[in-house]
Structure 1
Amino acid sequence: MRLIFLFSGLMLLLTACQPEAEMTDNKESVMYQKMDIVAPVATKIPKELTIHGDTRTDNYYWLNERENPEVISFLNAENTYKDEMMSHTKDFQDKLFEEMKGRIKEDDQSVPYKDNGYFYLTSYKEGQEYPVYSRKKGTLEAEEEVMLNVNELAKDFSYFNVGSRSVSPNNELLAYGEDTLSRRIYTIRFKNLKTGEMIEDRIPNTTGGAIWANDNQHVFYAVKDETLRPVKIFRHRLGTPSTDDVLIYEEQDDTFSAFVYKSKSKKYIIIGAYQTLSQEYQVLDADNPTGEFRMIQPRERGLEYGIAHFGDKFYIRTNMDALNFRLMSTPENATTKDNWEEVIPHRKDVLLEGMDIFQDYLVLSERKNGITQLRIRPWEGKEHYIDFGEDAYMAYTSTNPEFDTEVLRIGYQSMTTPPTTYDYNMKSKGMELLKQQEVLGGFNTADYVSERLYAKARDGVTVPISIVYHKDFKKDGSQPLLLYAYGSYGASMDPYFSSARLSLLNRGFAFAIAHIRGGEEMGRHWYEDGKLLNKKNTFNDFIDCGEFLVAEKYAAKDQLYAQGGSAGGLLMGAVMNMRPDLWKGVVAAVPFVDVITTMLDESIPLTTGEYDEWGNPNEKEYYDYILSYSPYDQVEAKDYPATLVTTGLHDSQVQYWEPAKWVAKLRELKTDKNPLLLHTNMDAGHGGASGRFARLKEVALQYAFFLDLAGKNEVKG
């Protein structure tokens, strides 16, 4: 799934505030004074690509040769050009970086959660990029045991990421994944928590997660194929070489992927197989790791379901005869769909997103009118919803590993409220504030205003928009506005808080999220209406939201900016082709822009599993439709807005050559004098740099790009 980790990148910038610096609003970006700097020109090597009697000529196809020194030279040349074009913002970027970093409390600690007799914590220390994972036995007053200090693990690597961490049932062993390349290919490592020593076992080429059987000796894990699709589930016995591991399951359908996890009840190891329109699950008693898995419900085209175990039943969230999903239950030993009984019915106006099960309560995550609501349903007694007192917010259940409790751990934030953790008593309805992310530098939520707006799309559909701005923002059609969206995979973009974003808001920008079709904000139909042969609704919605914001004077007509990443980068490429005149500047992060060529290449990660999202271009109907919007294929000789494109050389989600080819073609054909810049992180992948501060440097680059285009160049601070 090409889910933006620009979004996770945006989401992790969750904390802070400096006094507003003195500005000068120049009429023209300084970049325009540098247009005599010679931009790199990629060599043209024509390659003909023919299917369905149609031949496309791709002059930059050769850029997919990752090991070719000329490719690396081209990427380095583009980086040098970007640096020269942005050199006047170097000090400004440094200031933005320090400003954003300064909002983050460097000595910080997560709210502890309890699991199997231990309290688990994540902490950060001043000046350190990576977390320290630790625990305390029995009580928070107990001595802290450091399980992993990621700063020590990462010190010899330019990129380092710890994947899933799992502790054995006897609390003595830790399994975790480590990625040192940024392609999300993890090696599973093991540590003895009693002695502090690393265990020799290593399991390469995994998704990073190791699922413990109840014997504390066996783990189950998923292995990726050459396209980075997880397709095999193995069983490993501690103390034996990984080459002796037992293959438990292999996915034969190249549109499906496989995964493995453990039920909250700890009773079952569960193997799942999924694609866009279908899932299936098999379970194994965790007390018997060498036993045989049994099927819950065999896959059927169009049947989606997920399972949770409690007591003597499985609870099943499914779309069976329910577009917005409903909740069913079934005896744990009679699990096929003919045994399913309804617990929560389908509702046309409510999307059932998820469930959390407790001894005495069922907690449902439901989305209505674009906002997630938390519904508390006792197994016996009257149900209720949690009242958060705001119209636009982001609420979610957090880490809740225990069954026998009346306390629900939840998270909450809005565009003006930093991430907040509560314990909610499901019986008394009492809400205990555990922690609100501290935002340093004088942040005051009262200085900012958020609104929920509604734009009318060209086909009459109403599209929600979440917007935030400083209280001094003037809604008179004179101000800059940055419009962000994603719009794919049914991924809903909630109105989240970002401390880094304050650096834009304090300088006169408004920031808006367009909740366009292709997401799932308004229910399952919102997703269905924005994929496959309806994909252009996604692009039209974004354009119509932009025009609405200009018409309603939230943005000056020459100061509207756009940003999106991954599949949201596809959105950026499409709207640039469709309405290049609407945007003053665009940032496209790790953009999925070469849709046809990628979806025809089954060797590329994620391709086959996404036919139900974009369509299979081996079928002419989908080929023609995708070709009609594919950003790379639709580049023309015309004026385009100023554009900054970012990518990572090791990106496993959207390969680096897609944005590189797109920039090369834009540079060849565009007729304007607007800046076009490509930034390639030569050490990172889809999520950018590792470390909580290093990735802020790319955010500072993007913000400096927007602010320079807006003529907001600082003269002193």
Structure 2
Amino acid sequence: MTNRVETSSAPPVAKKIPARREHHGDVFVDDYEWLRDKDDPEVVAYLEAQNAYTETQTASLAPLRSDIYNEIRSRTQETDMSVPVRSGRFWYYVRTEEGKSYGIRCRRPIAGDDDWTPPEIAGDGPIEGEQILFDSNVEAEGHEFFSLGAHSVSHDGRWLAYSTDTVGDERYTLRIKDLETGELLPDVIEGTAGGATWSKDAKYLFYLTVDDAWRPDTVWRHTVGAGSTSTSLSMNAASGPDRTGSGTDDVRVFHEPDERYWVGFGATHSEEYLMIAAGSKLTSEIFALSMNDPTGEFTSVAGRTEGVEYSAEHARLGGRDYFLIVHNDEIDGVKAVDFAVDVMPVDDPSARRNLLPHRPSFRIEDVDCFADYLVLSYREDALPRLAIADLRGRDALPGADDFVPVTFDQELCSVGLGPNPEWDTPHLRIVYGSYVDPTEVLDLDVSTGERTLLKRAVVLGEYHPADYVAEREWAVADDGTRIPVSIVRRADADRGVPAPVLLNGYGAYEISSDPGFSVQALSLLDRGVAVATAHVRGGGEMGRDWYEEGRVLAKKNTFTDFVAVARHLVETGVTTPGQLVADGGSAGGLLMGAVANLAPELFGGILAAVPFVDPLTSILDPSLPLTVTEWDEWGDPLHDPEIYAYIRSYAPYENVAELPYPAMLILTSFQDTRVLFTEAAKWAARLQESTTSGKPVLLRTEMNGGHGGPSGRYRQWEEAAFELAWILSVSGAVSA
């Protein structure tokens, strides 16, 4: 198939200002490091010139983009409502309205203590008795970008804490609203990390701030009604940062000085304990404080041991309080690689014992505790699953055999626990989805196994799941490892004829790419494009070892696995190189950059979104956002010459060469704080200079977006249409 994107004009040429970098005896001269300065008008002008070039090169796709945008919109029920969730004395839900970009968060009172039936879901507007808590459409007015961070209602239902970001840099402003009067309190807290947690008595609000590297590192306690808090932080060498405001001195309750660790904050499901989680990728520690003593001192649940990860949740079993601890520590001298669950009496930590043993390839991810149930979230056969233990009528602690799996007929599907804020819920809200079935929200009666379908995601128009099939295949990597591949296509596709294929991949941080329905994918599938996912090592699909075999000094397995999947699709006749388009974002963008250097001949196109393609430059500089926290994932090239040499050998930017690169579309966001726009800009400049194929390398920068791109559903649909039209064009599925 021929490349359908026009190549009539040349891309902007970035000037070269050599910058010399030397580490461990290796010298690299970077001609484009000057593109790092976002305050330089010349940098902005260069990005805008690249945007203009991309628009010119893709201008012929405008009608197709319009068609796809209209398809997405026509399949979406724009005026819609989520399934109401009971919390306290109210049902909470989110509504959307046609023509409005953002959701409207609402609630209505429950009818009584026995009211566990969600109000009827209305597809045409408000429901009776509704109170609007927060309308993002109103708050977003006048802003090019809008993101809602915290949205937390106090336990008594009176106060709403919410935070907003109108730039895209994930620094939020936190405010408090009186839901009885609709008035805002004078409390305004700048520079927070997004979340907020109430004390049970609603006198205090806990929140997080980030350090200069954008790492959440400090927990603060704010007295409600005390006034605003400034963003100024002064560092005290002995105790960490102090935060002072014009009207209040917020109390620093926890600071994590180790730059490898992120900090999280929340409450147990029982609402009996406040919890702090401090964790690197390989080590964690949990701190707990009784909700009855919100100004007290947090204490460690199980200490901190290098290389041991754990989480903790409060459970009440047989009338006694316990912490259930999901961990990968040793049990009888054997490392619980795929995690185990221990039970520890809150009043007697020395009596901790194992509840669910470690089982290889049975990756335990979480345990959720309710008054009457324990819910185990785990992963087996590269799929997420649930199992439930019924605690009613039980005096003894449950064992492994008491957890009953929740099963569905579809082979490739995802099942997970939905929102269940009530500790005493008589049934469990679960969520099911697959590649071909629109997402379903169900209530499960644990005692009978009966499931009540509350909502199936609406796909307007003629959509029939039977028109599509999802299948699992296995590719073989260079070292003999079998790599799972999920493929979705139309059921009436001619298997004897190679078809265009979009191949997705990620492969980092133990994050899994699980089955899920996508309205947007229909615009590809209905034009004959199969959509495939390569579940490569570095992800978490096949357990902890799957992750370990794709990080640090085994990171190249991620890249060679993806190439092996691509070759498998070609060699089995599913597609041809000219019809195969690769797609990945963030760490998946690094994957795209690596495979572009490894096997450019295998792909007709590569799409990389917010790509982490200059990892060595970033990870060598601890002053850059999130650098030190990344060392557990990639290694520390600053202090370890072996790690430096290894990353140097695969870093996409530094290994760009005179190669016949396929058509490439590189997407980035100017305000992204996770992967700086600099990486994409530098990479595009080198690729445009070096490619020998004559196929265009396009760079598109969202000037008012963050790591997730633009905000608002209509802008996001426009962005999706832009990407899908490009994919269809370079794969040969359509003619421009």
Which TM-score tier does this pair reach, normalised by the shorter chain? Answer: over 0.9
Which residue of the partner structure matches residue 372 of structure 2? 360
Cα distance change on mapping 1:41 and 1:265 into 2, 3 Å? same
Within a 5 Å distance, the mapping from 1:458-607 to structure 2 comes to 458-607=478-627
The reply to whether residue 710 of structure 1 matches residue 728 of structure 2 is no
The reply to whether residue 429 of structure 1 matches residue 403 of structure 2 is no
Q: Deviations over 1:145-187 (max 9, x none)?
A: 1100111110111101111211111110000110111111111
449-458 or 474-483: bigger deviation: 474-483
Question: 1:477: Cα distance to partner?
Answer: 4.3
SS for the counterpart of 2:698 is: strand
CA contact (8 A) 2:475 2:482 kept: yes
SS for the counterpart of 2:257 is: coil
Which residue of the partner structure matches residue 672 of structure 1? 693
Q: Deviations over 1:507-547 (max 9, x none)?
A: 11000011111011111100001101010111111110111
Which residue of the partner structure matches residue 236 of structure 2? none
* Greater length-normalized contact order (CA 8 Å, ≥ 6 residues apart): 1
Distance 1:233 1:149 in 2: 28
Question: 1:704: Cα distance to partner?
Answer: 1.1
Distance 1:651 1:95 in 2: 29
Aligned counterpart for 1:686 among listed residues 693, 707, 710: 707
Question: 1:297: Cα distance to partner?
Answer: 2.0
285-294 or 596-605: bigger deviation: 285-294
The reply to whether residue 414 of structure 1 matches residue 388 of structure 2 is no
The reply to whether residue 658 of structure 1 matches residue 691 of structure 2 is no
Aligned counterpart for 2:289 among listed residues 257, 281, 284: 284
CA contact (8 A) 2:3 2:604 kept: no
Which residue of the partner structure matches residue 238 of structure 2? none
The reply to whether residue 198 of structure 1 matches residue 184 of structure 2 is yes
SS for the counterpart of 2:578 is: coil
Cα distance change on mapping 1:339 and 1:65 into 2, 3 Å? farther
Aligned counterpart for 1:326 among listed residues 333, 340, 346: 340
Which residue of the partner structure matches residue 302 of structure 2? 297
Distance 1:459 1:198 in 2: 61
CA contact (8 A) 2:68 2:721 kept: yes
SS for the counterpart of 1:146 is: strand
The reply to whether residue 397 of structure 1 matches residue 417 of structure 2 is yes
CA contact (8 A) 2:578 2:731 kept: no
Aligned counterpart for 2:53 among listed residues 70, 73, 81: 81
Within a 5 Å distance, the mapping from 1:174-185 to structure 2 comes to 174-185=160-171
Distance 2:303 2:355 in 1: 21
Which residue of the partner structure matches residue 20 of structure 1? none
CA contact (8 A) 1:269 1:285 kept: yes
87-96 or 482-491: bigger deviation: 87-96
SS for the counterpart of 2:269 is: coil
Question: 1:276: Cα distance to partner?
Answer: 0.4
Unaligned runs of 5+ in 2: 112-118, 120-126, 230-244, 331-335
Question: 1:408: Cα distance to partner?
Answer: 1.1
CA contact (8 A) 1:272 1:280 kept: yes
Question: 1:36: Cα distance to partner?
Answer: 3.0
Aligned counterpart for 2:324 among listed residues 312, 315, 332: 315
Distance 1:392 1:275 in 2: 32
Which residue of the partner structure matches residue 93 of structure 2? 121
The reply to whether residue 98 of structure 1 matches residue 109 of structure 2 is no
Distance 2:420 2:141 in 1: 33
Which residue of the partner structure matches residue 2 of structure 2? 28
The reply to whether residue 213 of structure 1 matches residue 199 of structure 2 is yes
Q: Deviations over 1:394-421 (max 9, x none)?
A: 1110111122234111111111001110
CA contact (8 A) 1:92 1:714 kept: no
Which residue of the partner structure matches residue 22 of structure 1? none
Letter of the aligned partner of 2:271 in structure 1? K
CA contact (8 A) 2:207 2:219 kept: yes
CA contact (8 A) 2:669 2:707 kept: yes
The reply to whether residue 67 of structure 1 matches residue 39 of structure 2 is yes
SS for the counterpart of 1:99 is: helix
Letter of the aligned partner of 1:377 in structure 2? A
Which residue of the partner structure matches residue 232 of structure 2? none
Cα distance change on mapping 1:406 and 1:215 into 2, 3 Å? closer
SS for the counterpart of 1:699 is: helix
Aligned counterpart for 2:134 among listed residues 133, 148, 155: 148
CA contact (8 A) 2:4 2:735 kept: no
Distance 2:382 2:731 in 1: 31
Distance 2:351 2:592 in 1: 46
Q: Deviations over 1:78-135 (max 9, x none)?
A: 0000000001111211111111121110010000111112110111011110000001
SS for the counterpart of 1:628 is: helix
Letter of the aligned partner of 2:386 in structure 1? L
Distance 1:666 1:540 in 2: 21
SS for the counterpart of 2:650 is: coil
Distance 1:557 1:51 in 2: 38
Unaligned runs of 5+ in 1: 1-26
Letter of the aligned partner of 2:312 in structure 1? I
CA contact (8 A) 2:324 2:367 kept: no
Q: Deviations over 1:199-222 (max 9, x none)?
A: 221111111111111221211111
Letter of the aligned partner of 1:246 in structure 2? V
Question: 1:714: Cα distance to partner?
Answer: 6.0
Which residue of the partner structure matches residue 233 of structure 1? 219
Which residue of the partner structure matches residue 24 of structure 1? none
CA contact (8 A) 1:186 1:207 kept: yes
CA contact (8 A) 1:651 1:686 kept: yes
SS for the counterpart of 1:223 is: strand
Letter of the aligned partner of 2:105 in structure 1? Y
Cα distance change on mapping 1:28 and 1:558 into 2, 3 Å? closer
Aligned length: 685
Letter of the aligned partner of 1:43 in structure 2? K
Distance 2:110 2:580 in 1: 54
Which residue of the partner structure matches residue 643 of structure 1? 664
SS for the counterpart of 2:194 is: coil
Structural RMSD (CA): 1.3
Which residue of the partner structure matches residue 17 of structure 1? none
Distance 1:475 1:562 in 2: 21
Distance 2:277 2:361 in 1: 29
586-595 or 667-676: bigger deviation: 667-676
Distance 2:63 2:595 in 1: 32
Letter of the aligned partner of 1:400 in structure 2? N
80-89 or 160-169: bigger deviation: 160-169
Aligned counterpart for 2:387 among listed residues 361, 369, 375: 375
Percent identity among equivalent residues?
39
Distance 2:596 2:187 in 1: 50
Letter of the aligned partner of 2:308 in structure 1? L
Distance 2:518 2:565 in 1: 22
CA contact (8 A) 1:316 1:328 kept: yes
Distance 1:282 1:63 in 2: 42
Distance 1:239 1:700 in 2: 46
TM-score scaled by length of structure 1: 0.94
Question: 1:261: Cα distance to partner?
Answer: 0.6
SS for the counterpart of 1:208 is: strand
| Deviant stretches of 4+, over 4 Å | none
Distance 1:386 1:605 in 2: 41
